[in-house]
Amino acid sequence: MNVPAGLLELVARVDGPAVRDTTVTLSFEQRQRTRLRVMLDDATPAAIMLPRGGVLRGGDYLRSRCGRVVAVHAADEELSHIAAVNARELARAAYHLGNRHVAVEIGDGWLRFRHDHVLDDMLRGLGFEVSVLRAPFEPEAGAYAGHHHTHSHGSRDHRIHG
Protein backbone atom coordinates (compact mmCIF):
# COMPACT_ATOMS: atom_id res chain seq x y z
CA MET A 1 0.00 0.00 0.00
CA ASN A 2 1.43 3.37 -0.98
CA VAL A 3 1.08 5.84 1.85
CA PRO A 4 0.37 9.45 0.85
CA ALA A 5 2.60 12.10 2.38
CA GLY A 6 1.27 13.43 5.66
CA LEU A 7 -0.66 10.28 6.57
CA LEU A 8 0.20 8.99 10.06
CA GLU A 9 1.84 5.58 9.61
CA LEU A 10 1.24 3.04 12.39
CA VAL A 11 4.13 0.64 11.92
CA ALA A 12 4.72 -1.34 15.13
CA ARG A 13 2.96 -2.94 18.05
CA VAL A 14 3.87 -1.67 21.51
CA ASP A 15 4.49 -4.41 24.06
CA GLY A 16 2.57 -3.87 27.27
CA PRO A 17 0.49 -0.92 28.34
CA ALA A 18 1.57 2.47 27.05
CA VAL A 19 0.55 6.08 27.40
CA ARG A 20 -1.68 6.70 24.41
CA ASP A 21 -1.92 9.84 22.35
CA THR A 22 -5.20 8.83 20.70
CA THR A 23 -7.37 5.82 19.82
CA VAL A 24 -8.69 3.97 16.82
CA THR A 25 -11.89 1.92 16.86
CA LEU A 26 -11.93 -1.04 14.49
CA SER A 27 -14.21 -3.98 13.72
CA PHE A 28 -12.85 -7.52 13.99
CA GLU A 29 -12.62 -7.69 10.20
CA GLN A 30 -10.47 -4.54 10.17
CA ARG A 31 -8.31 -5.80 13.05
CA GLN A 32 -7.36 -8.87 10.98
CA ARG A 33 -5.73 -6.73 8.29
CA THR A 34 -2.11 -5.56 8.47
CA ARG A 35 -2.41 -2.94 5.71
CA LEU A 36 -5.35 -0.61 6.14
CA ARG A 37 -6.23 3.07 5.84
CA VAL A 38 -8.17 4.23 8.89
CA MET A 39 -9.54 7.34 10.53
CA LEU A 40 -8.41 7.68 14.13
CA ASP A 41 -11.04 8.59 16.69
CA ASP A 42 -9.63 12.14 16.79
CA ALA A 43 -10.28 12.40 12.99
CA THR A 44 -6.60 12.00 12.03
CA PRO A 45 -6.19 9.95 8.83
CA ALA A 46 -3.74 7.09 9.28
CA ALA A 47 -2.42 3.93 7.69
CA ILE A 48 -1.81 0.70 9.55
CA MET A 49 1.38 -0.79 8.09
CA LEU A 50 2.22 -3.77 10.32
CA PRO A 51 4.24 -6.90 9.55
CA ARG A 52 2.06 -9.70 8.19
CA GLY A 53 0.42 -12.10 10.63
CA GLY A 54 -1.44 -11.66 13.85
CA VAL A 55 -4.68 -9.96 14.75
CA LEU A 56 -5.09 -6.70 16.60
CA ARG A 57 -7.12 -6.99 19.79
CA GLY A 58 -8.97 -4.37 21.75
CA GLY A 59 -6.41 -3.00 24.20
CA ASP A 60 -3.42 -3.34 21.87
CA TYR A 61 -1.20 -0.32 21.25
CA LEU A 62 0.43 0.80 18.01
CA ARG A 63 3.34 3.19 17.50
CA SER A 64 3.65 5.52 14.54
CA ARG A 65 6.88 6.35 12.70
CA CYS A 66 6.91 9.71 14.53
CA GLY A 67 6.42 8.10 17.97
CA ARG A 68 2.69 8.69 18.57
CA VAL A 69 0.96 5.85 20.41
CA VAL A 70 -2.53 4.76 19.35
CA ALA A 71 -4.69 2.47 21.50
CA VAL A 72 -6.86 -0.01 19.59
CA HIS A 73 -10.51 -0.27 20.62
CA ALA A 74 -12.71 -3.12 19.40
CA ALA A 75 -15.84 -1.68 17.77
CA ASP A 76 -19.29 -2.80 18.82
CA GLU A 77 -20.65 -5.25 16.26
CA GLU A 78 -23.94 -7.07 15.82
CA LEU A 79 -23.42 -10.48 17.40
CA SER A 80 -25.47 -13.58 18.06
CA HIS A 81 -25.22 -14.70 21.69
CA ILE A 82 -26.10 -18.04 23.21
CA ALA A 83 -25.92 -18.90 26.88
CA ALA A 84 -25.54 -22.53 27.84
CA VAL A 85 -26.92 -24.18 30.96
CA ASN A 86 -23.80 -26.35 31.37
CA ALA A 87 -20.38 -27.08 29.87
CA ARG A 88 -21.69 -29.97 27.75
CA GLU A 89 -24.25 -27.73 26.04
CA LEU A 90 -21.65 -25.01 25.50
CA ALA A 91 -19.30 -27.56 23.90
CA ARG A 92 -22.16 -28.89 21.75
CA ALA A 93 -22.91 -25.42 20.38
CA ALA A 94 -19.19 -24.72 19.83
CA TYR A 95 -18.87 -28.03 17.97
CA HIS A 96 -21.65 -27.17 15.53
CA LEU A 97 -20.29 -23.66 14.92
CA GLY A 98 -16.75 -25.01 14.53
CA ASN A 99 -17.94 -27.47 11.89
CA ARG A 100 -19.01 -24.41 9.89
CA HIS A 101 -15.67 -22.65 10.47
CA VAL A 102 -17.34 -19.78 12.31
CA ALA A 103 -15.18 -17.43 14.36
CA VAL A 104 -16.45 -17.77 17.94
CA GLU A 105 -15.84 -15.81 21.11
CA ILE A 106 -16.08 -17.99 24.21
CA GLY A 107 -17.05 -16.56 27.56
CA ASP A 108 -18.02 -17.99 30.91
CA GLY A 109 -21.15 -19.95 29.95
CA TRP A 110 -21.73 -18.27 26.58
CA LEU A 111 -20.66 -18.13 22.92
CA ARG A 112 -20.82 -15.23 20.47
CA PHE A 113 -20.35 -15.03 16.73
CA ARG A 114 -21.09 -12.50 14.02
CA HIS A 115 -24.85 -12.34 13.69
CA ASP A 116 -26.12 -14.71 11.03
CA HIS A 117 -29.81 -15.63 10.92
CA VAL A 118 -29.09 -19.01 9.29
CA LEU A 119 -26.73 -20.00 12.13
CA ASP A 120 -29.20 -18.59 14.66
CA ASP A 121 -31.95 -20.80 13.20
CA MET A 122 -29.65 -23.85 13.24
CA LEU A 123 -28.87 -23.31 16.93
CA ARG A 124 -32.51 -22.70 17.79
CA GLY A 125 -33.30 -26.00 16.04
CA LEU A 126 -30.79 -27.65 18.37
CA GLY A 127 -32.63 -26.21 21.37
CA PHE A 128 -30.54 -23.12 22.13
CA GLU A 129 -31.92 -19.67 22.86
CA VAL A 130 -30.24 -17.10 20.65
CA SER A 131 -30.27 -13.36 21.27
CA VAL A 132 -28.75 -10.53 19.27
CA LEU A 133 -26.63 -7.83 20.88
CA ARG A 134 -24.03 -5.19 20.10
CA ALA A 135 -20.65 -5.66 21.75
CA PRO A 136 -16.95 -5.82 20.84
CA PHE A 137 -16.07 -9.10 19.11
CA GLU A 138 -12.90 -10.88 20.29
CA PRO A 139 -13.09 -14.43 18.90
CA GLU A 140 -10.64 -17.22 19.66
CA ALA A 141 -7.47 -17.00 17.60
CA GLY A 142 -7.62 -20.62 16.47
CA ALA A 143 -5.23 -23.52 16.69
CA TYR A 144 -2.98 -22.32 13.88
CA ALA A 145 -2.71 -18.69 14.93
CA GLY A 146 0.52 -17.31 16.28
CA HIS A 147 0.96 -16.62 19.97
CA HIS A 148 -1.19 -13.73 21.14
CA HIS A 149 -2.06 -12.13 24.39
CA THR A 150 -5.46 -11.45 25.80
CA HIS A 151 -6.91 -8.43 27.51
CA SER A 152 -9.39 -8.10 30.28
CA HIS A 153 -12.58 -6.74 28.77
CA GLY A 154 -14.08 -5.64 32.06
CA SER A 155 -17.70 -4.68 31.88
CA ARG A 156 -19.32 -4.81 28.47
CA ASP A 157 -22.43 -3.18 27.19
CA HIS A 158 -24.94 -5.95 26.53
CA ARG A 159 -27.84 -4.13 24.88
CA ILE A 160 -30.02 -6.95 23.65
CA HIS A 161 -32.29 -5.88 20.82
CA GLY A 162 -33.61 -9.02 19.25
Read off the pLDDT of residues 76-117 as tens digits, 9 standing for 90 and up.
999 999 999 899 999 999 999 999 999 999 999 999 999 999
Contact 72, 24 (CB under 8 A): yes
**CATH class for domain 76-160?**
alpha beta
DSSP state letter for 103: -
pLDDT of 6 reads 74
pLDDT of 141 reads 79
State yes or no: pLDDT of 71 exceeds 60. yes
Measure the CA–CA gap between 75 and 89, rounded to whole angstroms.
29
State yes or no: pLDDT of 142 exceeds 90. no
Contact 72, 31 (CB under 8 A): yes
Asked whether the domain spanning 76-160 has the same topology as the one spanning 8-74, the reply is no
Residue 16's pLDDT band, with cuts at 50, 70 and 90, is confident
Which of 8, 23, 11 is CA-nearest to residue 63? 11
CATH code of the domain occupying 8-74: 2.60.260.20
More confident residue, 145 or 115: 115
Mean pLDDT, rounded, for 114-138: 96
Average pLDDT over the chain reads 86
Measure the CA–CA gap between 18 and 21, rounded to whole angstroms.
9
* Domain range summary for the chain, segments of one domain joined by +: 8-74, 76-160
